A = this chain, B = another copy of it.
């Protein structure tokens, strides 16, 4: 007997048959005596369909009205899932973000949750109902409908789990958990039974698109155990994300993350003075370009070399801005590379194992892979390599850190 919040994404509720399958799964938990809050997304494709209608009228449609529009997607799903649950004898009641008092700020299209009222949900659970909640939506101070931004249903689920003090927040998706790396690159990748919030944040931000990063932050902040599961497989326990580290100590790293479509820009011979980085990055930030890794090397002659990485889509624009900055600063040439990829190892285990970075560098070196940039944090090491070596690098590191065996152990 537990209080569970279960979140089903767009693919999991993408058809009438899948909604019926979700209802059956919820009923099995309910029959076990669990209390269930279900958070759902719009049926897959629906949000895009609605946004396309708005775009036909106005490419720059007002954010408030776009929220009124797209929030109907989740509203359709909560009604259909409630009907499906009732049909199989499972009492259920639907709630919009407004009805459950999901208070947010008024940043339409990317609102942040300010407060969740647990009373409406607890009242319905008390009555024996499964509570079916529309994810992704809330209510602004002026009573307008807001949305949390795309994928925000994960955040809704975690926020509700925190508010009602759920035993676990289960995120059902189309993969059955978090893997040691992308199985499309390394077929021997294994599902992790558990991972810490910090590791998950590094994995997510590095490109393993399992969970919305904001929801992981939220879960860590409120200490809500989060479990990623497949909505299509019955017997997998998925991956539990929590503060605890349940793995054997032998598991030094948890996974290999990577990001394609990366580019780097370097400016040579900038004056080596405090705040020079801020001066260089200011026009980049004003152009709404996100910067990822930043490396600055002092040359010892009063100048420094400054390099940063960014998404490949922003490369041309950023290069132009940087050339202007170089002129203003009296710096040297600007050069860049838009054929690179980022490769990272992530794991809390490396804090106690100083040789980890060395193993990584050795492994890549043996494969003849040159590292153009290195950046480290307490629980990850990232390197920039030529994109053509990316798959080779992933497989080499996966093998070098024995991830196929480690994962096997912990899953048993």
A-side interface residues toward B, CB under 8 Å? 16, 19-20, 50, 53-54, 56-58, 61-62, 64-66, 68-69, 71-72, 75-76, 78-80, 82-84, 86-87, 93-94, 96, 98-99, 143-145
Q: Please, which residues of chain B bring their CB within 8 A of the CB of A98?
A: 98
- Distance in angstroms between the alpha carbons of A53 and B17 in the assembled complex: 11
Q: How many copies does the complex hold?
A: 2
The answer to whether B99 and A83 touch across the interface, beta carbons within 8 angstroms, is: no
- Distance in angstroms between the alpha carbons of A66 and B86 in the assembled complex: 12
Give the nearest-CB partner of A75 in chain B: B72
Closest 6 CB pairs of A and B: A69-B79, A72-B72, A68-B79, A58-B87, A61-B83, A65-B82
**What are 7 of the A-B contact pairs (CB < 8 Å)?**
A57-B83, A64-B94, A66-B83, A68-B82, A69-B76, A69-B79, A96-B145
Given the contacts A75-B75, A76-B69, A79-B65, A56 and B16 also touching, CB distance less than 8 Å: yes
The answer to whether B57 and A76 touch across the interface, beta carbons within 8 angstroms, is: no
Give the nearest-CB partner of A77 in chain B: B69
Q: Please, which residues of chain B bring their CB within 8 A of the CB of A82?
A: 62, 65, 68
Q: Please, which residues of chain B bring their CB within 8 A of the CB of A61?
A: 83, 86-87
- Distance in angstroms between the alpha carbons of A86 and B58 in the assembled complex: 9
The answer to whether B84 and A57 touch across the interface, beta carbons within 8 angstroms, is: yes
The answer to whether B87 and A53 touch across the interface, beta carbons within 8 angstroms, is: no
Shortest distance in angstroms between A26's beta carbon and chain B's nearest beta carbon?
Answer: 14
Shortest distance in angstroms between A144's beta carbon and chain B's nearest beta carbon?
Answer: 8
Q: Please, which residues of chain B bring their CB within 8 A of the CB of A80?
A: 53-54, 57, 65, 69
Q: Please, which residues of chain B bring their CB within 8 A of the CB of A79?
A: 54, 65-66, 68-69
Shortest distance in angstroms between A142's beta carbon and chain B's nearest beta carbon?
Answer: 10
Complex partner residue of A68 from B68, B94, B144, B145, CB under 8 angstroms: B94
Q: Please, which residues of chain B bring their CB within 8 A of the CB of A62?
A: 82-83, 86
Shortest distance in angstroms between A167's beta carbon and chain B's nearest beta carbon?
Answer: 27
Shortest distance in angstroms between A118's beta carbon and chain B's nearest beta carbon?
Answer: 16
- Distance in angstroms between the alpha carbons of A79 and B66 in the assembled complex: 7
Shortest distance in angstroms between A47's beta carbon and chain B's nearest beta carbon?
Answer: 12
- Distance in angstroms between the alpha carbons of A86 and B144 in the assembled complex: 17
